[in-house]
Amino acid sequence: MDNILLQMKNVNKQFPGVYVLKDVNFELEKGEVHALLGENGAGKSTLMKVLGGIYSIDKGEIYIDGQRVEVKSVKDAQDLGISIIHQELVLVPYMTVAENIYLGRELVGASGLVDKKAMIREAQKLLDSFELKIKASSLVVGLTVAQQQMVEIIKAISFNAKILVMDEPTSSLTDKEVEFLFSTIVSLKRKGVGIVYISHRMSELSQISDRITVMRDGEYIGTKVTKSTTKDELISMMVGRELTNYYTRTYNEPGETILEVKNLTREGILKDVSFKIKKGEILGMAGLMGAGRSEVMRAIFGLDPIDSGEIFIEGKKVDIKDPNDAMRYGIALVPENRKEEGLFLIQSVKFNATLKVLDKFMKFIKVDKKVENDIVNKYVKEMSIKTPSTEQLVGNLSGGNQQKVVIARWLATNPKVLILDEPTRGVDVAAKAEIYLIMNELVNSGVSIIMISSELPEIINMSDRVLVMCNGSISGNLVRGELTQEKIMHYATGGM
């Protein structure tokens, strides 16, 4: 059994009001990619934070190379060769990329002082070796979320750890970056590094993992060899039942045009983007990363300026200068990245979910507790937001449940046009099915939905119509019935 690198035995962890880990077992071999799978809030990140010395263990044992170890701090974990890429971004925004990579282990020169130049030089070498166009001397705050994620990955790898944990590493990466990450994983495996890989993208797990351990409600359910299991088997282990009706969609005759966009142009980013959406319609937006889909939506929502173009709501030309204008016209946008959107992590679920609708229950500045509670309880229930109470701090929720709070917050504004940018990213299968169900209910009640998604099956199964974008313009317009992955990819890659 000398191939076993890590064993976690009967691990228990409780937080006030929540029993998060109940006798969980986990094992990792040298050179193995072992995936951890489970619904939002199952306890995956917590298990890894116990391993990383971020949370103390209540009960249970950890063995590395057969030796019982105590991991009482992040430093302990590092000394034991454990490195973690966290689900949430933890870089320090107002420090340079180099300072972040060497945080806590700064390179010191002959004078005994921190050698900033050397740090920048070494960090640059690392970045270059991944062919990243990121400058080691730039401040983290100026990077895109995807770039920050890549810096996190590189930082974790630079510790030469023997156990590397990746908690949702690809949630904001482009396909090209994912490819890089996977080739890095393959070379780390060859060196004998053991990798714990957490992701809700099942296709990734079958591509990269050797074994998969499933957790449910803080309990260990089982471990399967990736090659000899199926998606259905894994889902039923995860959810505890078969998932029928994954995509819910009933079709109605769409109504009048609600939103029309004409010749939206922004120098170098968007070129003559024109489209319409009708009442009760789901309009899918497909395209490769960087095609300009989010940019169109940000422009409509008043987040980015435009150089020219017009927007009409119910036939009337409108001038949207900022998101407040957009919201007044009944437009809501659930952004691509909750990491960017910034939930107020130290506020409660209730506060976050109702932030956008405060005026609904502000009667003479006094908050109407009943209305507030009704709104919150409705969404916590409908979206199965896993939280001990609505008073819980959002920062204490699991990653996917935070995502649900962001969505709930926007649903609560009762929009006429709801723009969803990658709504199911980072969300577990059961929650995906819930989100599809809610989308279907919304369009049945007359709401129009624009859904940007990189998951073609989701686009194909949920949309009435699909616009495909390429290089800042619309390259294809397909209707339900003629939607196939091949056709969409054809237009996404600029096909005529």
Ligand X SMILES: Nc1ncnc2c1ncn2[C@@H]1O[C@H](COP(=O)(O)OP(=O)(O)OP(=O)(O)O)[C@@H](O)[C@H]1O
Give the DSSP H or E segment for 363. Answer: strand 362-363
Write out the two tokens for 100: 């972040």
Which does residue 41 touch among ligand X, Mg ion, none (CB within 5 to 8 A, set by kind)? Answer: ligand X
Write out the two tokens for 102: 């060497």
Which does residue 20 touch among Mg ion, ligand X, none (CB within 5 to 8 A, set by kind)? Answer: ligand X
Select 390 or 398, whichever has its Cβ closest to ligand X.
398
Per CB under 5 A, the segment of 74-82, 141-149, 397-405, 425-433 that binds Mg ion is 397-405
CB-CB contact of 449 with 281 (8 Å): yes
Residue 318 CB, nearest distance to Mg ion (Å)?
40
Residue 22 buriedness (CB in 10 A; 0-12 / 13-18 / 19+): middle
Per CB under 5 A, the segment of 5-13, 240-248, 394-402, 486-494 that binds Mg ion is 394-402
Residue 454 CB, nearest distance to ligand X (Å)?
19
Which does residue 18 touch among ligand X, Mg ion, none (CB within 5 to 8 A, set by kind)? Answer: ligand X
Select 45 or 403, whichever has its Cβ closest to Mg ion.
45
Residue 425 CB, nearest distance to ligand X (Å)?
11
Angle at alpha carbon of residue 329, lines to 326 and 334, rounded to 5°: 50
Select 199 or 463, whichever has its Cβ closest to Mg ion.
199
486 contact partners, CB below 8 Å, separation of at least 6? none
Of residues 69-88, which lie at the interface with Mg ion (CB under 5 A)? 87
Residue 463 CB, nearest distance to ligand X (Å)?
26
Please give the residue ranges that form the binding site for ligand X (CB under 6 A). Answer: 15, 18, 20, 38, 40-46, 87, 386, 396-401
Select 122 or 219, whichever has its Cβ closest to Mg ion.
219
Select 22 or 276, whichever has its Cβ closest to ligand X.
22
Q: Which of 169, 157, 182 is nearest to 87 (CA)?
A: 169
- The conformational region for residue 287 under phi > 0 = left, psi -120 to 50 = alpha, else beta, is left
- The conformational region for residue 76 under phi > 0 = left, psi -120 to 50 = alpha, else beta, is alpha
Which does residue 386 touch among ligand X, Mg ion, none (CB within 5 to 8 A, set by kind)? Answer: ligand X
Cα–Cα distances (Å) from 302 to 196, 325, 332, 419, in that order, read 40, 7, 11, 13
Q: Which of 99, 97, 82, 87 is nearest to 160 (CA)?
A: 82
DSSP result, 281-338: -EEEEEE-TTSSHHHHHHHHTTSS--SEEEEEETTEEE---SHHHHHHTTEEEE-S-H
Residue 398 CB, nearest distance to ligand X (Å)?
3
Residue 25 CB, nearest distance to ligand X (Å)?
16
Which does residue 415 touch among Mg ion, ligand X, none (CB within 5 to 8 A, set by kind)? Answer: none
Select 46 or 453, whichever has its Cβ closest to Mg ion.
46
Residue 369 buriedness (CB in 10 A; 0-12 / 13-18 / 19+): exposed
Q: Which of 71, 75, 128, 73 is nearest to 98 (CA)?
A: 128
Residue 445 CB, nearest distance to Mg ion (Å)?
32
Per CB under 5 A, the segment of 39-47, 90-98, 173-181, 251-259 that binds Mg ion is 39-47
> Could you give the dihedral angle defined by the CA atoms of residues 276, 269, 496 and 309, in that order, rounded to the nearest 10 degrees?
30
Select 15 or 130, whichever has its Cβ closest to ligand X.
15
Residue 168 CB, nearest distance to Mg ion (Å)?
7
CA pair distance 108, 214, nearest whole angstrom: 44
Angle at alpha carbon of residue 239, lines to 234 and 241, rounded to 5°: 95
Residue 112 CB, nearest distance to Mg ion (Å)?
41
CB-CB contact of 353 with 408 (8 Å): yes
Select 87 or 454, whichever has its Cβ closest to Mg ion.
87
Residue 166 CB, nearest distance to ligand X (Å)?
13
- By CB under 5 A, tell whether 43 contacts Mg ion: no
- By CB under 5 A, tell whether 352 contacts Mg ion: no
Radius of gyration in angstroms for the set of CA atoms belonging to the chain, rounded to a whole number? 24
Which does residue 15 touch among ligand X, Mg ion, none (CB within 5 to 8 A, set by kind)? Answer: ligand X
- By CB under 5 A, tell whether 399 contacts Mg ion: yes
Which does residue 417 touch among Mg ion, ligand X, none (CB within 5 to 8 A, set by kind)? Answer: none
Residue 155 CB, nearest distance to ligand X (Å)?
20
Strands, E assignment, 384-471 = 417-421, 448-452, 465-470
Select 38 or 284, whichever has its Cβ closest to Mg ion.
38
Q: How many CA atoms lie within 13 A of 110 on its CB side?
A: 0
Of residues 91-130, which lie at the interface with Mg ion (CB under 5 A)? none
CA pair distance 5, 27, nearest whole angstrom: 8
Phi, psi of 477 (to 5 degrees): -140, 110
Select 101 or 406, whichever has its Cβ closest to ligand X.
406
Select 46 or 448, whichever has its Cβ closest to ligand X.
46
Of the candidates 45, 352, 401, 424, which one interacts with Mg ion according to CB under 5 A?
45
Residues at the contact surface with Mg ion, assessed by CB under 5 A: 45, 87, 398-399
